[in-house]
Structure 1
Amino acid sequence: ALGLLAGVLLSLGALTGTIFLVAPAVGDQVRDLLINLPQFLADLDRNINGLVRRVPVLGRRAGESAQPGLLATSLGEVFGFLRGAAVPYLKGGVTFLIEGISVVVMAVYLARHPAVYTEGVVALVPPRRRELARSILRDLNITLRAWIVGQIVAMILLAVLTTIGLWLLGMPYFLAFGIFAGVAAIVPFFGVLLSTLLPALLALGSIGLAKAVAVAALGVGVHLIEANFVAPYVMERQVNLPPVITIAGVLLIGKLFGLTGLVIAVPILAFVMVLTRHILVGHMYGDPISETKPSGTVPADAEPTIAPVPAIP
């Protein structure tokens, strides 16, 4: 527990210090990006039209009746609507930030002092079921710790690699897009897609197709590194969530709970998997569950921490 707390505090401290160092530059880049956004949209529309003229098959697939400037006009209308609804969206953003921070703080406290909450919950369970309750809560605590560590590592890794890569490619606003990539990583799969698409569109509009392809390739490469190092060794081995279940769960929980649901979707799904393994598989079906708990939580030669649970008589 002390190691987890120290690691989380050190990570948050390093992240906070980095934010204070780069915040002025990020703020300047975001402000410049918003100021130049109409010009970027016009350039993007012009470059896409030029690409369609050079590659006629794109024009036939898109439809010959497409109006010139349609992209810039449509996006301009969208941003005009957003400007008109700035106050509600700002309020929603602040609420989302407060709720997201609250979720992280509660998760850290739960992982730091699990015994306090465990015994309080166990006391509400009938005596003959208390050992099962302790096993479930022990697994939930392991899963929560794995999610916290994996999420922090993934966010920092994606932010750093994206920032460095965009800087090496000579992209403007590399700091803003790098920070955005780290923040967007908290939403599985869809955050990755968005953080890769936005800088590629900017490159397509302001620089050209070759740069856009390079930026998109960078985004794919960075996320492949994260998926092959962070996900297998930190998240999947301990949280143990199949990708299809994760995607479906993110869509469903996001629909039910909005933006906050996108943030808490993975821990909720992991908790549901733990409860299913213990109660449905282990208790109701009577199958041993010691082999199906999250892998990577204990050494291979250690004694099982969760004994097989007999079926309900």
Structure 2
Amino acid sequence: MTPRGSVSQLLVSVWNRPWVRLVTYLLLVALALWLARKIASVIVTGLVAFALAYLFNPALVWLERRRVPRALGVLLLVLVLGVLAALLVWAGAAQLGSLLADLPRFVKQLGDLGGDLLERLRGVPGLQDAPERLNAAIGEQVQALSQNALPTLQRLLSSGGSLLGGASLVLGWLGQAAFVVTLALYFMLDYPRLGPSVLRLFPSAWQGAVRRLSGDVADSFGGYARGQLLIGLAAGLLVTLSLLLIGIPNALGLGLLLAALNIVPYIGLVIAAVPALLLAIPGGALKIVLVLAVYFVTNQIVGNVLSPYVLGRTSNLSPAAVLLALLVGLTLGGLVGGLLAVPTATLLKHWTEHYWLTSRLHGRGDAGG
């Protein structure tokens, strides 16, 4: 039987060989990647829940400073957000039902508007029979829409959801959202203990660096998230008031829709404009033009003025840097790149100022110059 000391010495001797450590680390990395791929949905769910907890933690801290216990603060936050979510769902459901009921009529009215325009252009060579062709095509589309809209909607609602094994895709997404919210609530309650608990998992020599780096990432992405929340609320309020002045029905629901979709740079506003344009069709060409003008002006204000200013304040970047970061992100990574552009630029700026500009290597460069 081999003595315990001999076994320990043998293990130390083997571990001291560089190729053994290299192979071990590579195997651990491969195992971590394989495991992350297997539980990718769980990781994403946890990250989204933690992001929600981090986003609303300043509000809970503000309440704690006014002697409101964290548990009571979480309850108040849930009540406020629940009312807002119920309002959004109610407005969205009413808007969706109205659109589905009136869609054939909207398509017909849109065809009439186009027909009136083509009637005025009948004298142009090649467009003499354009109104008749357009009316025939519109009639076919309206008939097909009336016959197929309900079966299509039923097929969509009956498709299976994969996440929680529910009976439909809608129920699956609702179940996922409920689970994320529940997990976020537990994160909010335990938030003051989460950081120290995770930090203790790292070696003592690493904990200082890990604390600083995680704080940098949290500040960068948290400032961006809060800035986007403010921008979305401002854009939704602007569109709501403008549509009320024009006389578009369900202006509050359209404003809430824009506030929710505004997180997607530029494209979210375009998507949110589609139901508003459909609701403007019964009012004629003038109302359609006014709605287009509202969303165009809102896009210019939000994209070129409000976003650079607010994100510049919350992310500590100049407005020009915000616009350039968005342009680079959209060019390199599309929508995902646009979402990550500003917080990534903020993080790089922070690291440059705190680690590179204060480093000895940078000081030597200045001295050598």
Which TM-score tier does this pair reach, normalised by the shorter chain? 0.5 to 0.7
- Partner residue of 1:214? 290
Instruction: For 1:207, give the aligned amino acid.
Output: G
CA distance in 2, matches of 1:220, 1:127: 55
1:232 paired with 2:317, answer no
Q: Where does residue 285 of structure 1 map in the other structure?
A: none
Q: Which residue of 2 aligns with 1:176?
A: 253
* C-alpha separation in 2, matches of 1:56 and 1:36: 30
The residue identity in structure 2 corresponding to 1:40 is F
Match of residue 244 from structure 1:
327
Shift of 1:41: 1.4
Selected match of 1:39 from 105, 119, 142: 105
Q: Is the 8 A contact 1:158 1:222 kept in 2?
A: yes
Cα distance 1:225–1:23, how it changes in 2: closer, same or farther (>3 A)?
A: same
Contact 2:115 2:131 in 1 (8 A): no
Is 1:189 paired with 2:253?
no
**Secondary structure in structure 2 of the residue aligned to 1:144:** helix
Structure having the larger proportion of residues in helix: 2
Tell me, in whole angstroms, the C-alpha distance in 2 between the residues paired with 1:98 and 1:243.
33
Q: How has the CA–CA distance of structure 1 residues 133 and 291 changed in structure 2, closer, same or farther, with 3 Å as cutoff?
A: closer
Shift of 1:169: 0.3
Let me know the Cα RMSD of the aligned residues. 4.8
Q: Which residue of 2 aligns with 1:48?
A: 114
* Amino acid corresponding to residue 157 of structure 1 in structure 2: A
Paired with 2:305 and 2:190, the residues of 1 have a C-alpha distance of 29
How far 1:180 moved relative to its partner?
1.6
Aligned to 1:146: 223
Q: Is the 8 A contact 1:162 1:178 kept in 2?
A: yes
Aligned partners of 1:25 and 1:175 also within 8 Å:
yes
- CA radius of gyration, larger in: 2
Instruction: Tell me the TM-score normalised to structure 2 length.
Output: 0.56
Structure 1: distance between partners of 2:287 and 2:173? 34
Q: 1:270 to 1:219 in 2, by over 3 A?
A: closer
Cα offset, 1:214, TM superposition: 0.8
Partners of 1:12 and 1:147 in 2: CA distance: 22
| Aligned positions of 1:1-313 closer than 5 A | 3-5=58-60, 6=62, 16-17=82-83, 27-55=93-121, 67-69=133-135, 70=137, 73=141, 76=145, 79=149, 81-88=152-159, 91-96=168-173, 99=176, 116-203=193-280, 205-227=281-303, 230-239=306-315, 242-248=325-331, 251=334, 253=336, 266=339, 288-290=352-354, 308=359
Q: Gaps (5+ residues) in structure 2?
A: 1-55, 64-72, 162-167, 363-369
| Change in CA separation of 1:33 and 1:59 when aligned onto 2, cut-off 3 Å | farther
Summarize deviations over 1:197-240 as a string: whole Å, max 9, x none: 3312442x322222111111111223334345642343344446
**Identity across matched positions, percent:** 21
Where in structure 1 are there 5+ consecutive unaligned residues? 255-264, 283-287, 293-305
Match of 1:297 in 2: none
- SS of residue matched to 1:38: helix
| Cα distance in structure 2, aligned partners of 1:16 and 1:246 | 34
Give CA deviations for 1:241-298 in whole Å, capped at 9, x if unaligned: 51124435774649xxxxxxxxxx73x55665577678xxx6xxxxx44299xxxxxx
| Distance in 2 separating the partners of 1:126 and 1:309 | 26
Contact in 1 for aligned 2:216/2:347 (Cα 8 Å):
no
Determine if contact 2:232/2:259 at 8 Å carries over to the other structure. Answer: yes
Deviation at 1:33?
A: 2.8
